[in-house]
Amino acid sequence: MLITFNELRDIKHRLPTGSISRIARELDVSEQTVRNYFGGDHYDEGDVVDFHLEPGPNGGAVKLEDSRILDLAIRILEETEQS
């Protein structure tokens, strides 16, 4: 899946409080791994995610090998918008 880095960060910033914990719990990964997925770089605490960044406009293009975290984040945003 391709997405711009800025789009990825925007999704993270729009998530309601507690979403990082919820995503980590539902996918059985650490919270830091979820943060790293959205552009964090604290790899000493969380896993490195399969994320390739190519320089370009809007922060560059990000190729995500596994979109489960992003898919769940989008689902959470949709739930929030429906409430």
- Strand intervals (E) in 1-83: 2-4, 51-54, 61-64
Contacts of 71 (CB under 8 A, 6+ apart): none
Contacts of 24 (CB under 8 A, 6+ apart): 30, 31, 33, 34
Q: Which residue has the higher pLDDT, 17 or 51?
A: 17
Domain ranges for the chain, please list them.
Answer: 2-82
Model pLDDT, residue 13: 95
pLDDT in tens, 31-83: 998 998 888 765 555 555 566 778 898 888 988 888 999 999 999 999 999 87
Model pLDDT, residue 65: 86
Asked whether the whole model's pTM tops 0.85, one would answer: no
- Bridge partners (DSSP) of residue 61 are 4, 54
Distance, CA of 4 to chain centre: 12
Q: Which residue has the higher pLDDT, 49 or 7?
A: 7
The single residue listed with the structure tokens 């830091």 is: 32
Model pLDDT, residue 45: 54
